[in-house]
Amino acid sequence: MRILGIETSCDETACGIVEDGKRLLSNVVLSSMDLHAAYGGVVPEIAARSHIEAIIPVIRQSLQQAQCTWDDIDGIAVTYGAGLGGSLLVGVMTARTLAITKNKPLYAINHVEAHIYANFLTDAAPSLQDYVLPKHQPEFPMLGLIVSGGHSQLVLWRGHFDYTLLGQTQDDAIGEAFDKVAKVLGLPYPGGPNIERAAEHGDPYAFNFPKAKMPNKYDYSFSGPKTAVLRAAQQQIGESHDFPSHKLSQRLSEAQKANIAASFQRIAVETVVDKTIMAYEEGKPLSVVIGGGVASSPELRRQLAQRLPIEIAYTDRKLCTDNGAMIATLGCFHMLHNQPVADPYKLAISPNLSM
Ligand code: KG4
Ligand code: ZN
């Protein structure tokens, strides 16, 4: 069984094809990130316009890469939420049209849930052998940590489509916090990978930024550490709390930036790892998996591997950030487990969809 997955929830136009929920046949991702860099974040109108231009070529290329025609495709999966309204619309309208004209079942996919399903890919077609994939699929009960630019959630799955949301961020998503701290340090968007690079030359213990205490033990917050970064930066250059944040990066030395980046990265990662370890101790899941853009962070991978009592397998970094293969993978499980199909004449977007 082969599912074609379409993803357009943010700034990546993506299409992937997956067989039986485990074998990667193609993964084509075109990002409009460069167009947003000048603005320091994703501009929704620019993202939506880019999707319109890219979507058909990306789908075509994905079919080519998989060496498939439409006759080889058994169903279409598409992200219908969460995400930017204008961006989601392009993917959903394209998928609806294709489902009707190619006469395929249509599956509506939750983007956040799909990030975790990237971990179910254990095999790739010969042309995609550069993907480093886990050897085995995760087992249930499965604890999933979703850490992206839009979401930070801790979820316990008892089986496919049977899960409980344990906790989540009460303000910024972790990736968003990385992006905002990067902006203070004058590092370009997306912030995560740039903080990662800057942190390589810094001391992660130079600053002890605070971790918030939350009423629900599995929830967390990044507003405290983010403000603490701002205050530390102001103090480093000898200015008071009303010094404008956009002028800070010109005055900070490279060493000061590196220390702030390394210390923030350590604390932000520790925050979500603390909660994951706590949830592991309580729920004793058989597998722990991570997904979302921040899942590619080596610091997150290092801390988790160090503190988790069980072995944790990570998927390829190319499957952590937004992609169509994760949508196709979850689509396969929709089909395998007889989940309801979506009406191709009616499927609507759901920008605020949650787990
Ligand atoms: O999952 P994703 O591609 O898009 C959303 O669904 O949001 O995640 C993008 C986020 C950005 O905020 C980016 O800064 C963050 O992932 N990110 C990282 C790293 N690579 C990407 N954050 C920390 N460390 C990284 N290495
Ligand atoms: Zn995402």
Cβ neighbours for 249, distance < 8 A, ≥ 6 positions apart: 184, 185, 186, 187, 257
From the CB of 19, is ligand 1 less than 6 Å away?
A: no
Same domain, yes or no, for 90 and 173?
no
The pTM of the full predicted model, rounded to 2 decimals, is 0.95
We report the CATH number of the domain holding residue 235 as 3.30.420.40
Q: 10 Å Cβ neighbour count for 335?
A: 19
Same domain, yes or no, for 166 and 242?
yes
Alpha-carbon span 239 to 270, nearest angstrom = 29
State how far Cα 138 lies from the chain centre: 18
Q: In a mutational test of the pocket of ligand 1, which residue from 111, 116, 178 has the highest number of ligand atoms less than 8 Å from its CB?
A: 178
Which residue is closest in CA terms to ligand 1's atom 3? 321
Same domain, yes or no, for 261 and 147?
yes
CB-CB contact of 7 with 292 (8 Å): no
Tokens representing residue 141 in the block:
């009960």
14 is in which domain, residue-wise? 2-138+316-336
CB-CB contact of 16 with 324 (8 Å): yes
The pLDDT assigned to 212 comes to 87
Q: Does residue 352 fall inside a structural domain?
A: no
Closest ligand to the CA of 42: 1
Respond yes or no on whether the N-terminal peptide bond of residue 344 is cis (omega within 30° of 0). Answer: no
- 32 or 321, which is more confident? 321
Cα 271 to Cα 64, 202, 218, 224, 303, distances in angstroms = 42, 19, 10, 12, 11
> In this predicted structure, which of 6-10, 101-105, 189-193, 254-258 has the lowest mean pLDDT?
189-193
The pLDDT assigned to 32 comes to 83
Domain count, the chain: 2
Report phi then psi at 69, rounded to 5. Answer: -110, 175
From the CB of 293, is ligand 1 less than 6 Å away?
A: yes
Same domain, yes or no, for 275 and 293?
yes
Q: Does residue 343 fall inside a structural domain?
A: no
| Crossing angle for the helix pair 298-307 and 254-283, to the nearest 10 degrees | 40
Q: Does residue 102 fall inside a structural domain?
A: yes
Cα 263 to Cα 75, 116, 299, distances in angstroms = 46, 27, 11
pLDDT higher than threshold 80 for residue 37: no
Give the three-class secondary structure for 163. Answer: strand
By percentage, how much of the chain surpasses pLDDT 70? 100
Q: How far is the CA of 324 from the centre of ligand 2 (A)?
A: 10
Same domain, yes or no, for 30 and 73?
yes
From the CB of 144, is ligand 1 less than 6 Å away?
A: no
Same domain, yes or no, for 133 and 215?
no
Closest ligand to the CA of 33: 1
156: left (phi over 0), alpha (psi -120 to 50) or beta: beta
Q: How far is the CA of 104 from the centre of ligand 2 (A)?
A: 25
From the CB of 297, is ligand 1 less than 6 Å away?
A: yes
Tokens representing residue 113 in the block:
């849930």
Alpha-carbon span 149 to 177, nearest angstrom = 8
- Closest ligand 1 atom number to CA of residue 292: 1
Alpha-carbon span 149 to 179, nearest angstrom = 8
The pLDDT assigned to 189 comes to 86
Alpha-carbon span 145 to 272, nearest angstrom = 8
Same domain, yes or no, for 197 and 97?
no
The pLDDT assigned to 325 comes to 98
Q: Does residue 354 fall inside a structural domain?
A: no
pLDDT bracket for residue 36 (50, 70, 90): confident
Which residue has 């900070």 as its token pair?
A: 252
Cβ neighbours for 52, distance < 8 A, ≥ 6 positions apart: 90
Same domain, yes or no, for 9 and 134?
yes
From the CB of 296, is ligand 1 less than 6 Å away?
A: yes
Q: Does residue 80 fall inside a structural domain?
A: yes
Cα 179 to Cα 161, 168, 263, distances in angstroms = 31, 18, 15
By percentage, how much of the chain surpasses pLDDT 90? 93
Which residue is closest in CA terms to ligand 1's atom 5? 149
Closest ligand to the CA of 190: 1
Q: 10 Å Cβ neighbour count for 355?
A: 17
pLDDT higher than threshold 90 for residue 38: no
Which residue is closest in CA terms to ligand 1's atom 10? 149
pLDDT, tens only, 217-247: 999 999 999 999 999 999 999 999 999 999 9
Q: Does residue 344 fall inside a structural domain?
A: no
DSSP-assigned letters across all residues of 144-166: EEEE-SS-EEEEEEEETTEEEEE
Q: Which of 307, 325, 344 is the last residue of a domain?
A: 307
Q: Does residue 197 fall inside a structural domain?
A: yes
The pLDDT assigned to 43 comes to 87
State mean pLDDT over 91-105.
98
Q: How far is the CA of 84 from the centre of ligand 2 (A)?
A: 11
Closest CA to 93 of 114, 113, 117, 76: 76
Q: How far is the CA of 32 from the centre of ligand 2 (A)?
A: 14
The pLDDT assigned to 190 comes to 87
From the CB of 21, is ligand 1 less than 6 Å away?
A: no
Q: Does residue 342 fall inside a structural domain?
A: no
What's the whole-number average pLDDT of the chain?
96
State mean pLDDT over 263-286.
97
The pLDDT assigned to 150 comes to 86
Same domain, yes or no, for 303 and 330?
no
Same domain, yes or no, for 7 and 81?
yes
From the CB of 10, is ligand 1 less than 6 Å away?
A: yes
Same domain, yes or no, for 147 and 240?
yes
Same domain, yes or no, for 200 and 151?
yes
